[in-house]
Structure 1
């Protein structure tokens, strides 16, 4: 019989650390943006969806950049769903990721399993880790829930057994979603029913890609003769499959540079993708037709891609690639979800045995025939139909708890969401000020001079902020909500009003500094950053209230590090090297020892003309734990020190012209 049980998974793990306490006001720097030169040549539906409500801000979330690269053994709660054929291990505290899918008759692991937990800056909001099957919802890029908990519970399955339900409230698009996993008795395939709901009275943009990490020593098969190739030079173009530019690109290691291959699966063709080793063993993913897209991501064999592979795991671990399935042709697109509607589909994951070698169409025919024998297309459709009545089934035993944000939204709007309850018991300290605003019409006053906490920016919350008492805290939050809504002039006026009576002015000064930078007033931005940092540092480190709870008392060291980093960058950009040095010297020693701030120190030394000392920083070695995907800041700074090749340990370049 199929069982669901709790286990503990122990991994060498780096701590996540505190989130960045400063609201992300700047436009989102997403690597997966299309060059405008390519838009005119796209099919009409693709062009429309590429331009449909792209994400421009991370608000109301915060950036997760507090992690480091020092790993110690840590226990993770795991949920194991198992029948006599398959065993799937799910991590509810890390986005509900399927960490392992083990085929018991052949004793084969079907996924790439990362032996460590090492966050890196790949998610939309920062921290992400590699391996397994991840559920990406929200907007182009890795989900903000990559390293966050989701709700989990037992629910009845269509075959009379049990399913594992995962659900959460996706905050970028303000949409609830669920993922139901079950293993029918005797099945070689893990079934996954997924649903995204839009309870609002307005359409919403949505996005979904199931990302499956597999070892890169594979051939990837998908029923297509063409693909849309997207690289980190941000060009999107149609290319043939399997061979392009003199090599068969369905072998991941035949590509030199990181790239996405979005397969053009013909209408009416079964939707599937597989990765097979040289012996013909591997994993296949298939689905109902709503999940139309299929993709291969490769790191490539160039130095930058190899370095990223090492960065995400530990020495001696094999590399990986990703096979993926999504709602649209490419990950550059967002799909319109009508008001008070939903979209749902069914996926299946299991073993596939077929020869990967030979002429492309012959290989595809054999693989598709083997898939049809193992799991007929009609059976996938039948499983989806059988699952649909159970999608609203109320959960039984709770197995894990996610955030309280869904509960807050349900309380605000009174929505009924059968199957995905967001109980008031999940409300926590982060939601407390907003619950008080909802019920009493006013935000509670902060204790001490703690950071203001998370701002809710959706229109209903902004309306409440506009009618509450105009305290400095309310003006701060209102300004952030107005900024997110595109009303920048009014946001500046709100922050300026709040600053007049604020005891702690640094949060408002920092917001005004960002506004100045975005408007091109860099000197004034530098002045405001310097004033904000001075104001923050006036409070002694050990003063009560300097470090409060998650409702707004962000750790003081995180506040100082985040504000200090931005202030130094703003001051260096205006040539105020001495002022930047003064800010740097006031940072805590343990902050200055972090890799990100060692890089800051090197940049500061270069600005001071002390190139030899800057070179010594590189020679001593440092690791920028939160280096962003595609960021070439290290290479640019190194180039200012001479013409020697960039050391391999600092080579994270992902563009062909970055070498």
Structure 2
């Protein structure tokens, strides 16, 4: 018995606030061409999200294309238990690459980790072929222009889920990529980790190699902090987790020639549990068991023009603990990989105007030239659309007599910067007399050229008070003024007087930097101590500032308070692969 169904599921969704109108080129907290997010609303809205389910006599697998094509649930039909962590809502938190990570289910990432479309809708289709049900989700991603498709399938007699992914590069350039499948499972103190023996890289407050003893018992109660493990030479390639108090677990197995990566991530019991709670509707922790075609999260590889990569993995739900050394690699008969659909660009507000522009350019029809997006819309030309540079230049020429001509030139410069062609981008930006152009120019002159005086001049050219006082622009200008030196302290104070009622995290952080630069160390310490900052993973600006303050006070050995909102992990991993796409 095979059943394929589709419906709209009402879900609680906490909306996110964009960081600001400056494109995410050279942005430490973003990835171009995606907008990055600064905060999440505490009160959710109710939205209906698309769900597709495939089921046989034993299992029901539910996929949500509206959340990046992730697996929403794997339900054991005999017990009625969902083997995956259900966060109870869509509640994004601050983790790269877009500062909008959501927990729960199984996430598949490409070409960076975590997937940049976690809270976006992607294409999906489903059908029955023979005695097997298939769901395909994917898109053509906007960073590099590569296709990705993930396939979930279930046969009539299967008591496991087959997951297959294929990545195709139709562009003229080789591009870096990584991919991890990230399954979140509800965690309890008695949760048991069934992982291989062998050396593993432990990522905690230190990076170290440990020997994981697969013959002993490991439980969540054995760990008192957040940490991750990457297996380097496992003795078997099956792993999983089982929680006796819940009576459920999930295991993974794959051919190590295709999918050698094995990872375990946990928050442990105690001081770091709150980091897990912030993604969910209730105070419940979770553990992530992960797999991928690369060994570690710091690894990436290249997909050549015209190249294709495919790998297959299997998820085995269970209501009893399993012996990973007795699990056998399934061998289902799948449709040929050539039958897996390759989807085009997803239909989103941030892709629509650029696709319209490409269509007009391809037809050489100025009458079809769309209106340029407003600079406050966070709609930036995708670096993955290879022909967009020519189309933008054409649009600027065709609109030479129109009011929006400078905007097309601005977007041409943004697109060039997104490709890493910074000199060309800066030259174009210097010809555009718009606040949005001055804002991006100020950042590029500071970050790329380290020309602080020129950056300052660019920011001084901004006319609109709304742009001048937007926290994103305010912070970046303050970083430029700080780079010039102590002569700008009075100017910086004047700007802060204009926003002194705002409790924005970024402004408070920069105000503490100003106090430090003025030598008011106790005041800087008090400001950081009294403000409760939102949590951000793998960011350490406030931590470093706290340590600088105490070193200046002659107190170098001091704990970092939790209210600073930064974890204490060692710097590790490649969430973004590279800062800019390859030329």
Question: How does the TM-score come out when normalised to structure 2?
Answer: 0.81
Check 1:108–1:653 CA distance in 2 against 1; reply closer, same or farther (3 A cut).
same
Q: Counterpart in 2 of 1:33?
A: none
1:630 is the counterpart of 2:538:
yes
**Partner secondary structure for residue 90 of structure 2:** coil
2:253 counterpart residue number: 286
**Which residue is equivalent to 1:563?**
473
For 1:118 and 1:424, the matched residues in 2 are separated by 23
SS at match of 2:17: coil
Residue in structure 2 matching 1:205, options 176, 190, 197: 176
Q: Is the 8 A contact 2:353 2:373 kept in 1?
A: no
Q: Which residue of 2 aligns with 1:436?
A: 360
- The CA deviation at 1:492 is 1.9
Structure 1 residue 580 corresponds to structure 2 residue 510: no
TM-aligned CA deviation for residue 181 of structure 1: 1.9
Match of 2:24 in 1: 24
Q: Which residue is 1:312 aligned to?
A: 279
Q: Which residues in structure 2 correspond to 1:192-591 (within 5 Å)?
A: 192-217=163-188, 218-231=191-204, 233=206, 235=207, 238-242=209-213, 250-265=218-233, 271-278=237-244, 281-289=248-256, 290-301=258-269, 303=271, 305-314=272-281, 316-317=283-284, 319-352=285-318, 366-369=323-326, 371-372=327-328, 377=329, 380-381=330-331, 383=332, 386-389=333-336, 392=339, 418=341, 420=343, 428-429=352-353, 431-440=355-364, 446=372, 453-458=379-384, 459-465=386-392, 469=396, 471-496=405-430, 498-499=431-432, 502=433, 504-532=434-462, 535-537=463-465, 560-573=470-483, 574-575=485-486, 576-584=488-496, 586=498
Q: Return the offset for 1:150.
A: 0.7
Describe the shift of the 1:493–1:455 C-alpha distance in structure 2 as closer, same or farther (beyond 3 A): same
Q: Report the Cα offset of residue 135 of structure 1.
A: 0.7
| Distance verdict in 2 for CA 1:229–1:623, change over 3 Å | closer
Cα distance, 1:210 vs structure 2: 0.3
Whether the 8 Å CA contact 1:529–1:570 is kept in 2: the answer is no
Q: Deviations over 1:502-539 (max 9, x none)?
A: 3x24424432442233322223323422433xx232xx
Distance 1:163 1:355, change over 3 A: closer
Residue matched to 1:655: 569
- Which deviations, in whole Å up to 9, do the C-alpha atoms of 1:432-461 show, x marking residues without a partner? 344434444877564887568412335533
The secondary structure found in structure 2 opposite 1:65 is strand
Segments of structure 1 that go 5 or more residues without pairing to the other structure are 30-56, 357-365, 394-417, 542-555
Question: Over residues 214-252 of structure 1, what are the superposed CA-to-partner deviations in whole Å (9 max), with x where a residue is unaligned?
Answer: 23442222334222334465x4x5432228xxx979544
SS at match of 1:491: helix
Residue 144 (structure 2) aligns with: 173
CA distance in 2, matches of 1:419, 1:445: 30
- Closer, same or farther in 2 for the Cα pair 1:622/1:250, shift >3 Å? same
Native 8 Å contact 2:382 2:415 kept in 1 = yes
Paired with 2:238 and 2:380, the residues of 1 have a C-alpha distance of 41
Deviation digits for residues 537-593 of structure 1 (CA, Å, limit 9, x no counterpart): 2xxx7xxxxxxxxxxxxxx89x9343233223333454434433444555697xx34
Residue pair 2:225, 2:270 contacting (<8 A) in 1 also: yes
Over 3 Å counting, the alpha-carbon distance change for 1:616 and 1:242 in structure 2 is: same
| SS of corresponding position for 2:143 | coil
2-side partners of 1:480 and 1:448: how far apart? 13
Q: Note the C-alpha offset of 1:256.
A: 4.3
User: In structure 2, do the counterparts of structure 1 residues 588 and 506 end up closer, same or farther at CA, with 3 Å as the change threshold?
Assistant: farther
How far apart are the structure 2 equivalents of 1:452 and 1:225?
47
Q: Distance in 1 between matches of 2:115 and 2:126?
A: 24
Question: Does structure 1 conserve the Cα–Cα contact (< 8 Å) formed by 2:429 and 2:441?
Answer: yes
Q: Structure 2 CA distance, aligned partners of 1:205 and 1:188?
A: 35
Question: Would the aligned equivalents of 1:232 and 1:655 in 2 still touch at CA under 8 Å?
Answer: yes
Cα contact 1:215–1:320 (8 A) shared by 2: yes
**Cα offset, 1:98, TM superposition:** 1.6
Question: Contact 2:162–2:314 (CA<8 Å) still a contact in 1?
Answer: yes
Could you say what secondary structure the match of 2:85 adopts?
coil
CA apart distance, 1:354: 5.9
3-state SS of the aligned residue for 1:514? helix
Counterpart for residue 101 of structure 1: 74
Deviation at 1:275, TM superposition (A): 0.7
Q: Which moved more, 1:107-116 or 1:475-484?
A: 475-484
Match of 2:55 among 64, 71, 82: 82
Q: Deviations over 1:8-54 (max 9, x none)?
A: 4444432123464311221656xxxxxxxxxxxxxxxxxxxxxxxxx
CA distance in 1: counterparts of 2:570 and 2:110, whole angstroms: 29
Distance 1:227 1:424, change over 3 A: closer
Shift, 1:283, TM fit = 0.9
Normalized against structure 1, the TM-score is what? 0.72
User: How many Å separate the matches in 2 of 1:351 and 1:447?
Assistant: 47
Residues of 1 paired with 2:37 and 2:186: CA distance?
Answer: 28
Whether contact under 8 Å (2:205, 2:568) holds in the other structure is yes
In 2: Cα distance, 1:588 partner to 1:387 partner: 62
200-209 or 102-111: which moved more? 200-209
1:138 is displaced (CA, Å) by: 0.8
| Structure 2 equivalent of residue 116 of structure 1 | 89
Which protein has the bigger helix share? Answer: 1
Q: CA deviation at 1:486?
A: 3.8
Q: Distance in 1 between matches of 2:114 and 2:221?
A: 23
